Structure 1
């Protein structure tokens, strides 16, 4: 899930509490569709999504409205006609990150590899802009939030020039409680992971006996 450049106009009648905003414009990929319904505009789609029980957003390029749930939003996106991706404004990227910690610091990067590289807004996949730990079991990176939130989705950005397989197996935790366990056979560059947990500390704990490299961590949720 990538933020669209600039500010996005909110959609939804003033009397309606559910409002949507663009998080990605002219996207060539979209979340899997939970339901397709006829629609003639993004505003029309927003009203239909608001009335659907599990809809948290929709893709709009041309009819139909492609509504999606949190589950498909957090899974792999599929190729599609160019579309704008909208989500509810009560599910949005949380920027109130107060700090971070990590289990250890890699000695291979000199002064680099600090956990702050994973929360600096730099989405580049190069190791010199990523956090990195020593090679050992149970390595982790944790971010502290300025206040507790209900974490619904975590987006992780991997590195592409050294050990991307370090994110092939990890436990995603909120306040020490696992909300998702990820086991993959092949590395990813960017991926979304559902969580659904309330707290103020989000940790990525490696399940491998190697270093843990993480280029960027973004949270989606609400208070």
Structure 2
């Protein structure tokens, strides 16, 4: 959700020409589903994943077609008529017309953000040429249904607050090592209440804290700071 809102107000340069289409590999076409696919990939990359595209493909369909995306969710038993924050809402026959991301659910409404859409930004209503938010009646006849990505507590690029994590250093941090990135991790552990010295040195004290934190986060307790442990440190409150 945070990743989606980073681009709120973005407008296509020419008809259907966007940075999202270029990254997806198919520019100049309707890009509402492309936007959904690319923001998840970017969210994983921002969270420190070394395989953001592969991770994105596990979570949501990597496609430019709304109807194909709706079918993808259905075949995995992740499609329903009940909205959830972080779900994709599909419109039109078989979900083929349009798609947006649900960012708020009320008793009789949903609030969404989407690409290649019309909506509100900066106090004005815009046509369907950018990334905007809108509020829609839950009983709207336009709504076909909702696709629900399979989130986990450790890797949730839509609803979990993992985007505030500093960029992952790109290599494993383990016993005996020294790194300025380790200092950041140690400071984060201190914020979470662990007794640790933020000196950038991976000694026995840091090893014990890392293992304890991994157990707390439901991760393998191997004492090595990899991308998942790094991201979970900033997702944990």
Q: Report which of the two has the higher share of helix.
A: 2
Interval containing the TM-score (normalised by the shorter chain): under 0.3
Q: Which has the larger radius of gyration?
A: 2
TM-score when normalising by structure 1:
0.25
TM-score when normalising by structure 2:
0.24
